[in-house]
Amino acid sequence: MIFGSSGILLKEIFLKNANVEVVMLISVGFSFLAVIAFIHLINIKKKITYNFSLKYIGLIPIPLIILITFQLGIYTPLSKLIFSFTNPDIIPLNPFSSIVSLLSSLILAPIFEEIIFRGYILRGFLSTYSPIKAIISSAIIFGLVHFYPYQIIGAIPLGVFFGWIYYKTKSIGITIILHSFVNFIGLFSGWLHFKYGNQTIESISDIYGNYSIYMIIVATASFVIFLHRFIQKMKLFHVDNEIEIITT
């Protein structure tokens, strides 16, 4: 927040003619780097490393389907309803209209958020608490950091999902890929709403247009089916789940 605010102040004082989105992108990048640097500073003796291994990339296809159906059938309808209720005067924009926003959503946020929330926070919680408590606690923090109610309702369950996969695979490389993908699907579902829906949500057809109800029903049903299938599959998946604590 300090670095992000500094970026806005810098623009107002020295870069009045600069593109506000570029300044915000730089500010967000510095904000993430500042947090990572601070955590490294207070953990300098623990020699923290990141595992970007894609050894278990074969697990990804079903989670991708789960994320697509979650975004289209559950998160986007709920978030658009909440956004319409809390921000009735704001007109939805094309989420693909800004290259800076795309870079932030598809590259910066997935990499830095996974390093911080799974690579640092969840990893630290797993060294102290039970897996369930650690995953849920880190997911709540992940959700609250997104601040806006229409984002929190999606960020918390996604935080649980990413946390569970990290716990199973020990790889933030896998969760970075999934995080980037779910952000893309979020942008795409937002585009569908922008293109075919309405700003004010008064009926279900205002989400995606005339076929909204069919899309939501099919997506939600598919989400439940594939999530159940993935849970059953992961029950048979086993890696060494002991978290290594490096001490001096």
Q: Where are the domains of the chain?
A: 1-42, 50-235
Identify the DSSP state of 209: S
Per-residue pLDDT tens digits for 233-244: 888 776 654 444
Among residues 247, 5, 4, 242, which one has the least CA distance to residue 127? 242
Among residues 47, 67, 61, which one has the least CA distance to residue 110? 67
Q: Does position 246 have pLDDT exceeding 60, yes or no?
A: no
Q: What angle do CA 159, 73, 175 make, to 5 degrees?
A: 30
Mean pLDDT confidence for 174-193: 94
Per-residue pLDDT tens digits for 32-54: 888 888 888 887 777 777 788 88
pTM, full prediction: 0.85
CB contact at 8 A, 182 and 67: yes
Per-residue pLDDT tens digits for 69-112: 999 999 999 998 888 887 767 777 888 888 878 888 999 889 99
